[in-house]
């Protein structure tokens, strides 16, 4: 019995010593990572912090986030996406973790996943997600402008509508103004094409006028909605005035 007790005690002390050694080694790795980070040696910081996390089974939320940030600085976007995903699961610095993950996915050209991440982040961080919403709105604004330049009105409208559907009144109004401007410009282009037929082929001219008016009415509706969504938006009333002037010219008999 004494021998058995001695064996158990020895095993206990050996196990305790091993655990202490592991903790000490892990602590050294973390400190080495901290020092490297302060020295802006991000590659060494990343290596030490990642090894530290592996040694403690990733049970340090702050360090998981720090490794993700470090990976982004190194442009190791695969690792950044991985660790920001872990940080989100840990619910640690959620808005920054979502923003970092979306940025990594943007650089990895994982557009659909980036949009999903932004949408999830906006939903998960109410009241503190202005940066996420801005990134989301800017993406769809640029996409809309790209399609608008290519004269793909339907795709441009689809992208602007994403912004118009946002809950934030400022971004919502901007999306609606973009839609209003899109249809106003399209109506003006249709009218310009129809104008040469005014004194030659009146049917073609009248058909063009009708199409232009339909576009102007769409523009008017979106701009009025934008003013209602955000009365402080200065673009909506300015564009609306141009739309109304164009509509008046179309309905005023020419002398």
Task: Please tell me the number of Cα atoms within 13 Å of 216 on its side-chain side.
Answer: 22
pLDDT tops 50 at residue 86: yes
Find how far residue 215's CA is from the centre of its chain.
Answer: 30
Inter-residue contact 68 to 100 (CB < 8 Å)? yes
CATH of domain 15-110: 1.25.40.10
CATH superfamily of the 129-255 domain: Tetratricopeptide repeat domain (1.25.40.10)
Region(s) of the chain under CATH 1.25.40.10: 15-110, 129-255
pLDDT tops 70 at residue 99: yes
Residue owning tokens 């655990």: 19
d(CA 123, CA 141): 20
Q: What is the DSSP string of 23-84?
A: HHHHHHHHHHHHHHHHTT-HHHHHHHHHHHHHHTTT--HHHHHHHHHHHHHTT-HHHHHHHH
Indicate the pTM of the whole model. Answer: 0.85
Cβ neighbourhood burial of 179 (10 Å; 0-12, 13-18, 19+):
buried
pLDDT given at position 125:
94
Q: What is the pLDDT of residues 183-220, one digit of tens each?
A: 999 999 998 887 776 666 677 878 888 999 999 999 99
Q: What is the pLDDT of residues 132-167, one digit of tens each?
A: 999 999 999 999 999 999 999 999 999 999 999 999
DSSP annotation of 192 reads H
pLDDT given at position 68:
98
Closest CA to 185 of 193, 204, 174: 193
């Amino acid at each position: 019995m004494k021998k058995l007790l001695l064996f158990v005690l020895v095993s206990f002390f050996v196990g305790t010593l091993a655990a202490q050694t592991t903790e000490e080694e892990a602590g050294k790795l973390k400190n080495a990572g901290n020092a490297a980070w302060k020295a802006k040696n991000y590659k060494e910081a990343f290596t030490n912090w990642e090894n530290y996390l592996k040694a403690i089974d990733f049970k340090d939320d702050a360090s998981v986030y720090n490794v993700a940030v470090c990976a982004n600085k190194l442009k190791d976007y695969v690792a950044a996406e991985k660790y920001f995903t872990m940080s989100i699961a840990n619910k640690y610095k959620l808005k920054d973790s979502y923003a970092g993950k979306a940025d990594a996915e943007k650089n990895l050209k994982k557009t659909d996943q980036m949009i999903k991440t932004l949408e999830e982040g906006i939903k998960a961080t109410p009241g503190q997600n202005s940066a996420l919403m801005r990134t989301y709105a800017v993406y769809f604004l640029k996409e809309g402008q790209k399609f608008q330049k290519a004269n793909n009105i339907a795709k441009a409208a689809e992208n602007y509508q994403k912004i118009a559907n946002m809950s934030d009144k400022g971004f919502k109004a901007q999306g609606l103004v973009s839609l209003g401007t899109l249809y106003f410009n399209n109506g003006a282009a249709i009218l310009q094409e129809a104008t040469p037929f005014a004194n030659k082929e009146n049917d073609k001219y009248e058909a063009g006028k009708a199409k232009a008016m339909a576009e102007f009415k769409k523009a008017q509706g979106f701009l009025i909605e934008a003013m209602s969504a955000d009365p402080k938006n200065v673009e909506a009333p300015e564009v609306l005035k141009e739309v109304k002037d164009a509509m008046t010219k179309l309905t005023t008999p020419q002398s």
